[in-house]
Amino acid sequence: MEERQYDLIFICRPDTPEADIDKLIATIEHTATDKGARIEKTEKWGRKRMAYRVHKLREDFYVYMILKSSHGEVVKELERRLKVSDPVIKYLTVRLDEELKRQAKLKHHRERRAARRPRKTTPAAAAPTGEQAQGIA
């Protein structure tokens, strides 16, 4: 099976010490690599104001990760772990590889179209001045 890409975001309580968050990230990474996933990126967004209150908290600590894995089991395991760990109050995993693939495809199409456009318009618009069109092309 081909490799899938996941975005994993989780939110910790703002009163957890930085060391605990680092430890949590380390365990998450460890579990992920154990299950055969690769960590592409780990980012601590830090304290951010949330759009609504969760557990009566207005502000929280965001951690963002990009994972790559060829099977979905790892997500299940990670979500289970996030669910039981105390400081985490919210998490979200999104599978993104299909959208990224689509993005790449559309970009490819656009580039090809952009490359083709001058050739297509010149013969119709400027047929008598062929040498000019060639000069431009």
Q: Tell me: does residue 50 bind other proteins (CB under 8 A).
A: yes
**53 residue type, one letter:** R
Q: Tell me: does residue 116 bind other proteins (CB under 8 A).
A: no
Stretch that binds other proteins, among 19-27, 28-36, 99-107, 129-137 (CB under 8 A): 99-107
Rg (the chain; Cα; Å): 24
Q: How far apart are CA 59 and CA 51, in angstroms?
A: 9
Choose which of 70, 73, 86, 100 interacts with other proteins (CB under 8 A). 100
Q: Tell me: does residue 7 bind other proteins (CB under 8 A).
A: yes
Q: Tell me: does residue 20 bind other proteins (CB under 8 A).
A: no
Tokens of 73: 């089991």
Q: In angstroms, give the least distance from the CB of 36 to other proteins.
A: 25
Q: How far apart are CA 26 and CA 129, in angstroms?
A: 67
The single-letter DSSP state of residue 57 is E
Q: Which residue's CB is nearer to other proteins, number 39 or number 50?
A: 50
Q: Strands 4-12, 88-95: parallel, antiparallel or unpaired by DSSP?
A: antiparallel
Choose which of 30, 47, 107, 117 interacts with other proteins (CB under 8 A). 107
Q: Tell me: does residue 106 bind other proteins (CB under 8 A).
A: yes
Residue tagged 């040498």 (tokens):
131
Q: How far apart are CA 114 and CA 32, in angstroms?
A: 41
Q: Which residues of this protein are in contact with other proteins, per CB under 8 A?
A: 7, 9, 11, 50-54, 60, 64, 90, 92, 94, 99-100, 102-103, 106-107, 110
